[in-house]
Amino acid sequence: MNHSNRRVFVLQTLACTTALMAVGAARAQAALVNEKDAQALSLGYVADSSKADAKKYPKHVASQMCGNCQIYAGKPADTAGPCAIFPGKSVSSKGWCSAYVKKAA
Ligand code: SF4
């Protein structure tokens, strides 16, 4: 490999590595669910559990949050994480929706 070819190889490797890192970062930080999205509205999703509609969801209690929901797939320390109800998006760990299921102890 001559000097020029080596330089091209190094640049291509750097470009590929950068592209893969960008894809990984995008996967790790999926966009947060927008409360105004149709599905979010239909499930009463709010990013802050204390803002849940008490009239519409009288069984909701403030201690119910995505972070302690069985369906939440984020880690305990995460501020947001995946939820199977909203594929490809993240929900706030302090959020809530009417599909809430208390996490088994
Ligand atoms: S199903 Fe659970 S984790 Fe998903 S949005 Fe509703 S309360 Fe949050």
- State residue 19's pLDDT score: 42
Long-range contacts formed by 78-85: CB under 8 A, 24+ apart: 80/32, 82/30, 83/33, 85/39, 85/43
- State residue 68's pLDDT score: 97
Render each residue's pLDDT in the chain as its tens digit; 105 residues.
Answer: 565 655 554 445 434 343 434 444 445 569 999 999 999 999 999 999 999 999 999 999 999 999 999 999 999 899 999 999 999 999 999 999 999 999 998
Give Cβ neighbours of residue 98 (< 8 Å, ≥ 6 apart). 43, 44, 57, 60
Q: Is 31 exposed, middle or buried (0-12, 13-18, 19+ CB in 10 A)?
A: exposed
Q: Which two tokens stand for residue 72?
A: 């939440």
Q: Which of 5, 75, 74 is nearest to 33 (CA)?
A: 74
Among the atoms of ligand 1, which is closest to the Cα of residue 100? 7
**Is 47's C-beta closer than 6 angstroms to any atom of ligand 1?**
no
CATH entry 1.10.760.10 includes domain 31-105: no
SS3 content of the chain, % helix, strand, coil (to 5): 35, 10, 50
For ligand 1, atom 2, name the residue with the nearest CA. 100
Q: Which of 56, 54, 53, 75 is nearest to 66 (CA)?
A: 75
> Where are the chain's structural domains?
1-29, 31-105
